[in-house]
Structure 1
Amino acid sequence: MKVAIKWIKKGYKIATVLDFVGLSESTYYYNINHNSEDDNSSNNPNGRPIPGYSYSYAGEKISDEQIKEWLLELVAGDGFPYGYKKLTTCLKEDYMLKINHKKVYRLCKELDILRPQRKIKNRHPRRLAKRDEISNSNQLWEMDLKYGCITGIDQFFFQLSVIDVFDRSIIDYHLGLSCKAEDACRVLKKALAKRELTKGMDLPVIRTDNGSQFTSKLFGSTCQSLGMKYQRIPVKTPNMNAHIESFHSILEDECYSRNEFQSYIEVYEIVSEYMRYYNNRRRHGSLNNQAPTQYYRAVKDKKIKPEVFIA
């Protein structure tokens, strides 16, 4: 530290000296501030000196003690105490004081008049995904978002799909230049309609990651109104959403990467055609080399015995 100060006093750049001696800037400035004999006015060893006053708009110095009295008057005034941010506004408007909410927070804390933090209740509590035994269609659905690039206009497009984990069908999907919670809700409702499922029946569990479309209040309330159980996977566990992730890998390899899309219309035409191919003609090794739609109908008509697995 002494060596660094010596070279800095000779006129060398602080950053260069500190880098050479292996000393961080925060350590240097901390020691400088605490060892300075000139700074005797600081009441706050962890930051800048606390002046003990604020200015009014007229340029008059107002002591912290006076400000505290005003705060107590404001809190007691109407009998309905404000939080520190609203008290800041009152000080500015009622007493013409130049002050920010950080100082008001500190003064309120010293007076012990801070309002307790309100507890936010989640209307749709998060249910973590867990492994379940899957033995039939419409038991577990996974939903996720994938994006691609339109080379011709240098813009992204988004595809949100819902897959039946058992028969691998993409029951419904959204394709657009944006993807919001409203789109996720619409896809979910259309998927239920396509499978002829309504509230009161044994509905599938819907599993998603923690994307903004799925953590929204709208999506949670929609699942609740539809009577569906909703799970979100823990952070950094894409294997819990393995089937939709696998589909996205297939989609990228067989569709997105093989086309340089020039417009959204081209995206819509090519991706829509691929989705028809995927559901109706593409054979899956995990489905006895049958296409998803074919396998779904065969199990539904009891032509084949379904295989039970854990997902």
Structure 2
Amino acid sequence: MASKWINKGYNTSIVLDFVGLNSSTYYSNINRETKSESTNSSNSNNPKGRPIPGYSLTESGEKISDEQIKEWLLELIAGDGFPYGYRKLTVCLKEDYKLKINKKKVYRLCKELDILRPQRKIKKIRPKKIAKQEEITDPNQLWQMDLKYGYIDGTDQFFFQMSVIDVFDKTVIDYHLGLSCKAKDTCRVLKAALNKRKMYKGMNLPKIRTDNGPQFVSKLFGDTCESLGLEHQRIPVRTPNMNAHIESFHSVLEKDCYSINEFSSFIDAYKKVSEYMNYYNNRYRHGSLNDMPPAKFYKLAKAEKIVAEPVLA
């Protein structure tokens, strides 16, 4: 009651005398409330517990990003088809991938993916189109998409590169670089690639082939492909050879860019990777393209000025 009147501007001494409250008791309560508010504010801004690092270590000490672990979890579920809970998935990660990881973290990642057992029983997005090997004879028949992880030494963080490559001419049509890569980023890259190739709904559009990563099994990506009129193929579990062309590009990217740079920051990584991507598309002499850069090979192929061998993919 005293605080109510004092806060309205009435003289403190008069109010305390009126209610019969000792001044030392009043100020003691005020100090206690102020300290409590300060503590609560501090706790809300800095919650207890160590920050989530965003990766786990293997037995050999290699850092594996949480996004890669999520992809492995999805593949483990799709591969065995059994109703594994997070505890058994933890065992699988330890044995199959030599990860040093505990069941609490696996539970958290499963919860983020919405694949804990009750949800997995009822969750059904759409029928899965399984990729099959086929012969590619022209550009824009088959595109492959995949995610690659890079490491930033200066900040102890991972960055993500999502790329879409044309299987026939090996051009990386578009890509995303970021400290995260969500389904919306993957959809944006796909739409940008279609625009760059001037391909629109109603035309003879490329098939899109991916693995079973969380970005690709998401409802958003499936809905986007459907709305654009694209056929989305997903490779069978543990068959990276079905996505061999994007995997081959990632090997070149790792050897020529990622492994020879110690990135000091994300800005540094973005600059160096972007420079390399320009080099790869426009100047890198590709052995499977008669030693021509992908962009030049694509231009000649579209103009029908070269006769190229079919590609098996």
What TM-score does the superposition give when structure 2 sets the normalisation length?
Answer: 0.61
Q: Deviation per CA, 1:4-40: give whole Å up to 9, x if none.
A: xxxxxxxxxxxxxxxxxxxxxxxxxxxxxxxxxxxxx
SS of residue in 2 equivalent to 1:174 = strand
User: Offset of 1:118 from its aligned partner?
Assistant: 12
User: Offset of 1:142 from its aligned partner?
Assistant: 0.3
Which residue does 2:258 correspond to in 1? Answer: 256
Which residue does 1:157 correspond to in 2? Answer: 159
Mapped to 2, the partners of 1:121 and 1:153 lie a distance apart of 37
- Residue among 180, 199, 207 paired with 2:182: 180
- Give the residue type in structure 2 aligned to 1:127: K
* Length, aligned pairs only: 195
Which residue does 2:299 correspond to in 1? Answer: 297
Mapped to 1, the partners of 2:282 and 2:121 lie a distance apart of 50
Which structure would you say has the larger Rg? 1
Cα pair distance change 1:121/1:158, threshold 3 Å? closer
Q: Deviation per CA, 1:223-267: give whole Å up to 9, x if none.
A: 000000000001100000000000000000000000000011101
Gaps of 5+ in 2: 1-118
Mapped to 2, the partners of 1:236 and 1:308 lie a distance apart of 25
Contact 1:124/1:221, CA 8 A, preserved across alignment: no
Which residue does 2:146 correspond to in 1? Answer: 144
4+ runs deviating over 4 angstroms: 117-121
Which residue does 2:172 correspond to in 1? Answer: 170
| Pairing 1:118-129 to 2, within 5 Å after superposition | 120=122, 122-129=124-131
Which residue does 1:288 correspond to in 2? Answer: 290
Question: Which protein, 1 or 2, shows the higher relative CO under an 8 Å CA cutoff with sep ≥ 6?
Answer: 2
User: Offset of 1:122 from its aligned partner?
Assistant: 3.7
- Give the residue type in structure 1 aligned to 2:185: D
Q: Percent identity?
A: 67
User: Offset of 1:127 from its aligned partner?
Assistant: 0.5
Q: Deviation per CA, 1:27-62: give whole Å up to 9, x if none.
A: xxxxxxxxxxxxxxxxxxxxxxxxxxxxxxxxxxxx
Mapped to 1, the partners of 2:169 and 2:207 lie a distance apart of 15
Which residue does 2:198 correspond to in 1? Answer: 196
Contact 1:185/1:222, CA 8 A, preserved across alignment: yes
- Give the residue type in structure 2 aligned to 1:178: S
- Residue among 132, 135, 143 paired with 2:134: 132
- Give the residue type in structure 2 aligned to 1:161: S
Q: CA RMSD in A?
A: 1.5
SS of residue in 2 equivalent to 1:289 = coil
Mapped to 2, the partners of 1:191 and 1:308 lie a distance apart of 22
- Give the residue type in structure 2 aligned to 1:261: F
SS of residue in 2 equivalent to 1:298 = helix
Cα pair distance change 1:132/1:118, threshold 3 Å? closer
